Structure 1
Amino acid sequence: MSKTAAQLKQLLSLGENQTLEYLTSCELKHCGPQVCAFLNTQGGYLLCGVDDKGQIKGVEHAVQVAEQLESQLKSAIQPPVLFSIEVQEVENKQLLIVEVPAGKDIPYAFNSDIYIRAGEQTKKADVDTIRDMVMRKQVEPTRWERLFSSELDEQGLSTSACNKLLSAKRIPKEVAQAEQGFLHQLQLLSLAKYGRLTNAADVLLASAPGKRHPQARVRAVCYRHKADDEYQDLQHLDGPMADVIEQLITFVMRNTPSRARFSSANNQREDIPMYPEQAVREAIVNAFAHRDYSNFAGGIKVEVSPVHLKIWNAGAFPQGIDENKIRQGHISVLRNPDIAHGLYLQGYMEKLGRGSVVIQEACTEAGLPEPKWHSDSTSGVTLTLFAPEVTPEVTPEVTPEVTPEVTPEVTPEVTPEVTPEVTPEVAKLLLAIKGEQSRMELQDSLTLKDAEHFRKNYLKPALEITPVLVEMTIPDKPTSRNQKYRLTALGLQVKQQLSDKKTS
């Protein structure tokens, strides 16, 4: 049973509640009010093909039904909203799972009627409830993406980016067929209002949004180690969001080496990317969709090194979301629903809250360590994908039966040697490191007086060795006065081997 199916079983065991509703029917007239009610409250799941007792009935032709229902819901519910529908098989029967986030633009209406969730029931909102929803919306600050973009007019938009959006397969018919003009089409997508373009339209479609919003620029860097004086590759990107996303993906794939993998089925070598492109794509898109654009000191930064890929964006996880819920694929709490909707229409976003699951599954399938998310209200959100761990054994793709047939010339490409070649100076440094020590402590332990000589001939070469033997305790701040250095697990092995040779 897949992880998603296991989660579905758990949902079925809970019974209907404030955030969970069962329906045997997939008809729009039954599903629409439920989705609308979830949007107007705290989000939830709608399971189609299940009776009110939790018994699985199934949905015939589920894939086609899901596509039709999604199109119908997006046309019938206003204002425009992003939710996801997926098909899942349980007990040899197919169900539809409609995953709905808490809406940012309440009140939402289905065919002009407003619905809310009251306990386990969905009902039409009365006048007092609607008045309260409208009043709350009026006192809430306008989201950054909904504010008017200063000094941006139609001439500042990228023609190719606009054409790509408005010709996307997922674009609603009423938008594609609108006859009132280009700005009206954008208004239907919540990217314009009263004839003026919003910040969301700026970062999605403008030729150079960084002129008005410096935080929209993206920095991509590749280095062997942060202590290097020069980067191997450095780019500052500014332009329509879809273009920048594609450029970032190309940057990562260009600056990460391929790995050699041998199939146990045919004993053929296959060169695969260090990081699965699907994981890279999902990670980058998530950073654009969920970052805090209102932080003028923020942005997005991508770092590529021999040991990891880091993708950082400004802002913390939304309230109620943490690292564990991210890994589980929790219902998304969209910070920027208009921007996310623009990405969805162009095929960059698929299922709400599932990007993290896709990333994890792609890394597992590629034999990579588990990715890590870290969120801090002051430093932002960082996703780290790790390069394959170096071990004395051959890689998992090479079976014991195949190993004897691998020639000595191929072996170094499959598995790096456990003991890398090191200079006499680096060997002395490895033997000297005890726990975590500062640069001055290491220099003193080697009785070296010239700091520059120590940095160039001992410390810098040790940090540059791949696989990594020596690492910083504060890698994000290489020049920190609190910086210290320590041996990695492999570094400890090499130190032991050097010590054994010295005493033998």
Structure 2
Amino acid sequence: MSILEVLELIKSGESDTIEFKRKLTSDIGKDIVAFANTEGGVILVGVDDEGNIIGVKEDILQKLSDILLNITPPLRVKVDKISIENKSIYLIRVPKSTKIHTFRYIAYIRVGKNVKPLALNELLERAAEAVLYFFDRAPSGVPATEIDLNILKWFLETREKVRNVKSYGDLMEIAEKLNIIVSRNSEKSLSGAGVLFFTQNPVKYVPWARVQLVKFLDEDMTRVAYYRFIEGPVWKIINELEEFFKANLMKIPIREAKWRRIELYEYPLDALREAVTNALAHRNYLIPSETQVFIFPKKIVVKNPGSFPPGVSPENPRHVPRNPLLCQYLYDIGYIEKWGTGIYRMKKACSEHPLVDLKFNIQPYYTEVVFEKVSEVRELLDEKDREILEVIKVLGEARSSEIAERVGLSKTAVVARLERLEKIGLVERRGRGAKTRYVLK
């Protein structure tokens, strides 16, 4: 690294990948381990916290070697000595590691400019994620002959349309090139991602690779209105959940301008699809638990096994995929538009929706995405809707003709509005034909 590059590095200041140290102390072992366990980084010894070059008079290499002996498993760093303004500074470059390193038997991670020890649950989660990467790419033990070639044909055709990527040759050879089929000890089997994406019934091999869908009548989860498991390849589960939302979520008529009426789903459909896609793409498939979608009267919760990787959060949604091969397949067919942007799209969709707020509940072994209603449907009604509700309230119950006379609309227009108000859940229809009456719910 040149002197100019070092000066630019110092000018940029401390960050999640840059640390300044006036001198070398034994605590630098924590910083080295934290960088290795997060995204890697550079430590400049001989620079104070404000970025002033103090310099180091002693040779630190032997002392640094002694410190590195306390790091387990062993970690290699690169050290450069640079002279600036007749002052010596040392650059310790720490690579990002695929292992979990400890300093004096404690693991650390980098969070912004700070170093924090990994709690036991975080340590276990990181260990699980390291194994999960193996699950995604490694042989599953499921024979290669279990691949559904019709799914593979559909995948290749869709990829060509969406990403303009063409494939030629034998389907089984293509499957090997795409790591759908992998080899171990000369035996060919499906990869973990191959099982989840290219077999008709993944639960045959991974019983929890499905979604538990439950609709509750209350917020306490005591009264169940609907319950089922959605099974199949990952992409099919995503499609089925989207169709369920379209068929079962209420459409709310709102007036966007004086002359224009539009219908809006009570929850942002794009954000729900994104949450489900992320849950299935990034969940921890080593945890024997299903992805869950819970529908409550005032919220929808998408819950998946596995937490955010260390250093990643809803506020800092960097793309660190648990299942990179599965993510690649979903990207190829357009289910993931751009890696690392899913949370941004969910936030944007919810910020533009008049009823719903987006929240995250991140725990050591699971993550919940919560779509919570923050406004009532009544707030979206126009003046005539409110007049209709007021007439029913005053009369106790009313015929459509009575309402039409009082609000100044045709009977046909009133009936159409009453049907919408009934779907929204604000009025109830009683009787049939000429005896039909409407009451408030």
TM-score per shorter chain, which class?
0.5 to 0.7
Once the two structures are TM-superposed, the CA of residue 368 in structure 1 deviates from its matched residue by: 2.9
Residue aligning to 1:368: 355
The 5-angstrom pairing of residues 31-46 of structure 1 reads: 42=39
Q: Distance in 2 between matches of 1:315 and 1:218?
A: 15
Q: Cα gap change, 1:280/1:236 in structure 2, threshold over 3 Å: closer, same or farther? A: same
Could you report, residue by residue, the CA deviation over 1:29-70 in whole angstroms, capped at 9, with x for unpaired residues? xxxxxxxxxxxx9599xxxxxxxxxxxxxxxxxxxxxxxxxx
Q: Cα gap change, 1:321/1:176 in structure 2, threshold over 3 Å: closer, same or farther? A: same
Residue aligning to 1:324: 315
Give yes or no for contact 1:147–1:198 (8 Å, CA) kept in 2.
yes
RMSD: 4.1
Residue aligning to 2:332: 345
Q: Distance in 1 between matches of 2:163 and 2:262?
A: 39
Q: Distance in 2 between matches of 1:341 and 1:118?
A: 36
Residue aligning to 1:278: 270
Residue aligning to 2:135: 144
Q: Distance in 2 between matches of 1:412 and 1:166?
A: 59
> Does 2:209 align with 1:216?
yes
Instruction: Give 1:234's aligned amino acid.
Output: Y
> Does 2:379 align with 1:394?
yes
Q: Distance in 2 between matches of 1:275 and 1:356?
A: 16
Give yes or no for contact 1:164–1:346 (8 Å, CA) kept in 2.
no
Which structure 1 residue ranges, 5 or more long, are not aligned?
A: 1-12, 20-40, 45-116, 120-128, 418-465, 468-504
Could you report, residue by residue, the CA deviation over 1:423-453 in whole angstroms, capped at 9, with x for unpaired residues? xxxxxxxxxxxxxxxxxxxxxxxxxxxxxxx
Which structure 2 residue ranges, 5 or more long, are not aligned?
A: 1-10, 18-37, 42-77, 81-92, 101-129, 394-424, 427-441
> Does 2:161 align with 1:176?
no
Q: TM-score, normalised by structure 1?
A: 0.49
Residue aligning to 2:69: none
Identity level (%):
22
Could you report, residue by residue, the CA deviation over 1:359-389 in whole angstroms, capped at 9, with x for unpaired residues? 11111212133201111113x0000111352
The structure in which a higher percent of residues are strand is 2
- Give the aligned length: 284
Instruction: Give 1:394's aligned amino acid.
Output: E
> Does 2:298 align with 1:313?
no
Instruction: Give 2:262's aligned amino acid.
Output: E
Q: Cα gap change, 1:388/1:264 in structure 2, threshold over 3 Å: closer, same or farther? A: farther
Q: Distance in 2 between matches of 1:182 and 1:412?
A: 67
Q: Cα gap change, 1:14/1:390 in structure 2, threshold over 3 Å: closer, same or farther? A: farther
Once the two structures are TM-superposed, the CA of residue 14 in structure 1 deviates from its matched residue by: 6.1
Once the two structures are TM-superposed, the CA of residue 261 in structure 1 deviates from its matched residue by: 1.0
Q: Cα gap change, 1:259/1:160 in structure 2, threshold over 3 Å: closer, same or farther? A: farther
Q: Distance in 1 between matches of 2:341 and 2:290?
A: 23
Q: Cα gap change, 1:192/1:118 in structure 2, threshold over 3 Å: closer, same or farther? A: farther
Give yes or no for contact 1:290–1:336 (8 Å, CA) kept in 2.
yes
For residue 356 of structure 2, give the secondary structure of its aligned residue in structure 1: coil
Match of 2:388 among 394, 409, 412: 409
Q: Distance in 1 between matches of 2:362 and 2:154?
A: 33
Give yes or no for contact 1:161–1:242 (8 Å, CA) kept in 2.
no
Q: Distance in 2 between matches of 1:151 and 1:335?
A: 21
Q: Cα gap change, 1:118/1:408 in structure 2, threshold over 3 Å: closer, same or farther? A: farther
Once the two structures are TM-superposed, the CA of residue 172 in structure 1 deviates from its matched residue by: 7.3
Q: Distance in 2 between matches of 1:412 and 1:373?
A: 42
Residue aligning to 1:385: 371
Q: Cα gap change, 1:361/1:164 in structure 2, threshold over 3 Å: closer, same or farther? A: same
Residue aligning to 2:231: 238
Q: Distance in 1 between matches of 2:348 and 2:285?
A: 29
Larger radius of gyration: 2
> Does 2:280 align with 1:294?
no
Residue aligning to 2:244: 251
Q: Cα gap change, 1:411/1:247 in structure 2, threshold over 3 Å: closer, same or farther? A: farther
Q: Cα gap change, 1:216/1:409 in structure 2, threshold over 3 Å: closer, same or farther? A: same
Residue aligning to 2:89: none
Give yes or no for contact 2:282–2:322 (8 Å, CA) kept in 1.
yes
Could you report, residue by residue, the CA deviation over 1:221-257 in whole angstroms, capped at 9, with x for unpaired residues? 1121265766322221221111111011122232321
Match of 2:174 among 170, 174, 185: 185
Could you report, residue by residue, the CA deviation over 1:41-100 in whole angstroms, capped at 9, with x for unpaired residues? 9599xxxxxxxxxxxxxxxxxxxxxxxxxxxxxxxxxxxxxxxxxxxxxxxxxxxxxxxx
Q: Distance in 2 between matches of 1:376 and 1:134?
A: 23
Q: Cα gap change, 1:275/1:159 in structure 2, threshold over 3 Å: closer, same or farther? A: farther
Give yes or no for contact 2:212–2:292 (8 Å, CA) kept in 1.
yes
